[in-house]
Amino acid sequence: MWTIYDGRSTTRLPLPPALALCKHPNVCLPPPRPAAVPPMGSPASKQHVAFVAFPFGSHPGAIFPVARAVAAAAPSAVVSFLGTARALASLPPADDTPNLRFVPVADGVPDESPPPREVLELIGLFLEATPGNLKEGMAAAVAGAGGAPVICVVSDAFVWMSGDVAEEMRVPWVPLCPGGTAALSAHLHTDLLRRKLGVGDQALAGREEDLLDFIPGLSVHRVRDLPEGVVTGPLDSPFSVLLHRMADRLPKAAAIAFNTIPGLEPAIEESLATVFSKPFTIGPFHILGPPSAPAPDPNRCLPWLDRHLPDAVAYVSFGSIMTPPPAELAQLAEGLEASGVPFIWSLKETARESLPPGFLERTKERGMVVGWAPQLAVLDHPAVGAFLTHCGWNSVLEGIAAGVPMACRPLFGDHRMIARSMMLAWGNGIGFEGEAMTKDGVLKALDALLRGEEGKRLRARAAELKEMANKAVAPGGSSTKNFASLLDFLLPEIKLNS
């Protein structure tokens, strides 16, 4: 049920379907008329920061730990978290931060029609509803905070329109960049890249392997590693236009925060420091603040891992948005079966028809194929010694923080740039020949990650990066210090928890 308070009486209404399973007690509706949840205290002087999520894929979960960290550090402040109902329902409970409140915003999907199934169509509808839905959400956030005005807007960088909303509100806008800084640098240099390389087939003609060494920090990346929408692909699609306009808007922000480990990409860090007036490197976001409650483990992955030796198990996951082509899934399955390696494979139910006949039955004694796995806990388990990944930035940071070496099968977007960094710059990842997975390629990758001299080298480098990540967010660490500076910027007049 929703709790609605209009200043005179309280009303209980049914929850929208997307929030029916949501465990968040502090939720406020955008007001169809002046309405809000019962106010949190009364002072209009209460400091109030509003976070805005890009409500697709792993983005809401990527910036949510920063909102929790702000709420935990400043318990007398109000922290509102704006996102679509579906995005809010995907987040873990935040019972330990009662000053963190959830504000649903319209997703743009017409009520009278069945919801679209394609992510790009959903993104297009959301963008059409923006920034009007954000303005309504801000009004609901203020009402739910007892009238405390928002003094700063913090958003996912993809929701660059939040900067315009903040400007109308006459408050600072601070974007959070949940992705890697290499791809961000490419987006910031989109106009230069298009002038130098051309666009479409012209950009790739004979120079797919050319290095981007004319952009600081991208000397190991090739033209063909660039995300779609920079010089190739449908440049006029809503998503490509979104990223291009984001790159134009970000340098105008009051400050910006990066989800990377200080020192991991020093040349890019140095370059970005010349673009932004107040850059804060505070990653990895997912281990920045207080630990979350353990994720559910409905398939009992963790007890299964408890039965295995250290560094013996391969974990396979390609994220929540895309899946490798059916032929590759079949090759991957054949490689896993032939390897003899114990494995957990997080695979959508709809993709299982691509598995070879009898694969599940033949491997059930040493493998688990599940629809969902608690990835953070799985990667942190000592039994996991290899991670086959699509190279989404959140997954890669989670693998780094857990000290697990990775095999890279990039799928789209920034994945190719991230994979290239892992293989050539950081030394904690290996690739597949031709980038596609084959049975033989999977066997070689598992052997390299789990056995022999190459495995020792990869595990040693993964352990070094794990130490680097965890030191950064420890007391006195570089990310911890940068986060304290960011807090001072967001909440300049409030007493913070030490």
User: Is 156 annotated in the active site?
Assistant: yes
* R_g (Cα) of the chain, nearest Å: 23
User: What residue ranges in 182-302 does DSSP mark as E strands?
Assistant: 256-258, 279-281
- Using an 8 Å Cβ cutoff, are 285 and 65 in contact? yes
SS (H, E, C) 139-208: HHHHHHCCCCCCCEEEEECCCCHHHHHHHHHCCCEEEEECCCHHHHHHHHCHHHHHHHHCCCHHHHCCCC
Q: 112 exposed, middle or buried (CB, 10 Å; 0-12, 13-18, 19+)?
A: exposed
Q: Which two tokens stand for residue 400?
A: 């780094």
Beta bridge partners of 174: 154
Q: Residues of 83-107 as b/e, b for ≥16 C-beta within 10 angstroms?
A: bbbbbbbbbbebeebebbbbbbbbb
User: Is 59 annotated in the active site?
Assistant: yes
C-alpha span between 476 and 128 (Å, rounded): 43
Sign of the dihedral defined by the CA atoms of residues 380, 381, 382, 387, in that order: negative
- In the chain, the largest separation of any two C-alpha atoms, in whole Å, equals 71
C-alpha span between 338 and 358 (Å, rounded): 14
Q: Which two tokens stand for residue 198?
A: 């051309």
Instruction: Read off φ and ψ for residue 12, nearest 5 degrees.
Output: -110, 130
From the list 390, 308, 391, the residue with the least C-alpha distance to 342 is 308
**From the candidates 48, 107, 156, 244, which is the catalytic residue?**
156
Sign of the dihedral defined by the CA atoms of residues 388, 394, 398, 403, in that order: positive
DSSP for 90-122, written as a single string: TSPP-TT-TTEEEEE------TTSPPP-SHHHH
Q: Residues of 41-75 as b/e, b for ≥16 C-beta within 10 angstroms?
A: eeeeebbbbbbbbbbbbbbbbbbbbbbbbbbbbbe
From the list 37, 44, 41, the residue with the least C-alpha distance to 10 is 37
- Using an 8 Å Cβ cutoff, are 64 and 24 in contact? no
C-alpha span between 123 and 246 (Å, rounded): 15
Place of tokens 């640098």: 185
**From the candidates 48, 59, 187, 390, which is the catalytic residue?**
59
Active site (catalytic) residues = 59, 156
